[in-house]
Structure 1
């Protein structure tokens, strides 16, 4: 039995600096950063007071007044991105709804609404005792991460599998990998898949402040996130969503769909080492890359571009560089590598899907987005990190990698669509 192939036929993106795939692509290829002082709440008491925020007006993005009241910001992002992806694909979901599934990645779920509800329900005079009488009837939606997948499934009437994948900062990649598995297994033909995250809230900022993973360069928010740079000091929190319409190749060809790229390989590994620490040799990420290439049936030399995790923490950039050398060999020195996080920030469980969307667009446009803010290359890091300016050229095969707290390591290979028949 031949292996079922998976292609990307639609993209929907909600990102800092612009909503929609067109605005997103223009922003990342120009290298115009969207990091700035936090406006979502008063962050003056925090160590890191910056974020890449989405300028988002629910009513302007087609959400009803009820959806604006009821849904957490992460769910709103997911719905807006889903609607764009479906429209972009041209797919009309009027067939068997059980052949359509949903896979959504999120690291922290409905953080904003859950934190707001906790404040409303808490009585500080009684040692933060929760008073249930003031609870929103939608509190259960915010408490259960699975509600994110349920909302998307409801939106598109998907009655196949609906799942939330939560694996820290690789959630957005892993949700796509899970979606591919479901299509290959034959139970579905279409997956609405990706990641969504709206983590810019006091509790999340405090989490990363506590371990000093975020940049403290508050006086220069625009240039604070600088992967692979000698002066890097951590990431800047972001938010957003990317939803991809994935189809089995034959299903897409039967309706003459426009295809951005084929997902040819995916693999995930755990380092079983430390909750936030990384081995300097990058052995587990290298193993994920090697396995993804093996599933693709491609040699390392086939990779034309690597979309890096590129968080700008000291250890991640060393770990990732070592992993690429170990998995790609000498070809690592000839392969352009870049990170789009300086532009859109690090949106935790959403960023892997946002980066895969960037990879699909890179293939479609023949352009490699630059690593913004890379002015002083770290001499320890000696690969080609595409500093400051985008590069033009034919791109046939792209590798996107992710690394997350908890030791999660993931890699995905995308290829230019080839002429094919079924």
Structure 2
């Protein structure tokens, strides 16, 4: 049962909560107060003044970050009194929820620890005529559906660019933004991200040479001098990427089709264009291929996740290395990459120093991206590499980093850390 109560502060240095007697008589065993990530053990007392006011000592007001005279909803569970929040997750619908049911169940459990009720819904589950959604939540070991008002905070977890670009979905998101706070608003445009960083002198050195919508002549010039990648500006998970290089007098092309790596050879760049790009290179970038550091003749790069916390500050939440055979064109796990620790191929001293550098870089990059999107991002994934001379390069920035790594048992704790940060950031958004 939820109780809507007005919080009022009273001067006292002890950890005391005073609730209406009507609540106290039902819940006498409460000994903990929880407000998002903040919790304290407290004395639980009663008053007879009215049925709508909860008095909180000045000491607890500070510790729990309550605002005086504000109404909160409280959910009392056994010995804990928790501020009740809702955390909406925008998905493609029930099929996506069912496909990742175990992940969403774990998220729900962690949200419960912070007082959040996690509501998952698809873009088709929204009724703007009554401003409510049909949503799914996990409780008592099963999924149930219910009708709820729009959550104040919504986490955008639409699974792919094609769906997110659909006119109906775009309109739905725009309408939701008039009633709710949505974080992680969209997948990134690769060229736009490149431009953002190019305009910042402190991070320009991280960027491989890149050109947007190259001409056929430019493509030929680049291939004659170095290996290159052609990347769609709206691509993700390695989709649509071409690796092209010159081998003697032949041009070699590698790319994925239906999750299978296809290779072909061509005598001219015109042959490549005619086969793969008959409509030109619109919405593509050409980028120099960095000769990545190798271990046992296998390429290595690094994935680092960052998340915002309840102070609206960025934290590094996950890091790991990926390794693939030299002929692979990407290091995505879904494309066959192996997951390893950074400490597996450097000495502890060198790995620690490298990790510190990488973490400093991604925190700086996170702030730059977030400023551009006016604080609308809550999590990011960065792909970075080092070349044979140990120079660091930024390869990709991901607006919705994938969860495939969570299939590995050794990253179970990292998964929970990321989920905790998602709710901590939602707590900040709820109370800002």
TM-score range for the pair, normalised by the shorter chain length: under 0.3
Which structure: greater strand fraction? 2
After TM superposition, the score normalised by the length of structure 2 is 0.26
Using CA pairs under 8 Å that are at least 6 residues apart, name the structure with larger relative contact order, 1 or 2: 1
Which structure: greater helix fraction? 1
After TM superposition, the score normalised by the length of structure 1 is 0.26
Which protein is bigger by CA-based radius of gyration? Answer: 2
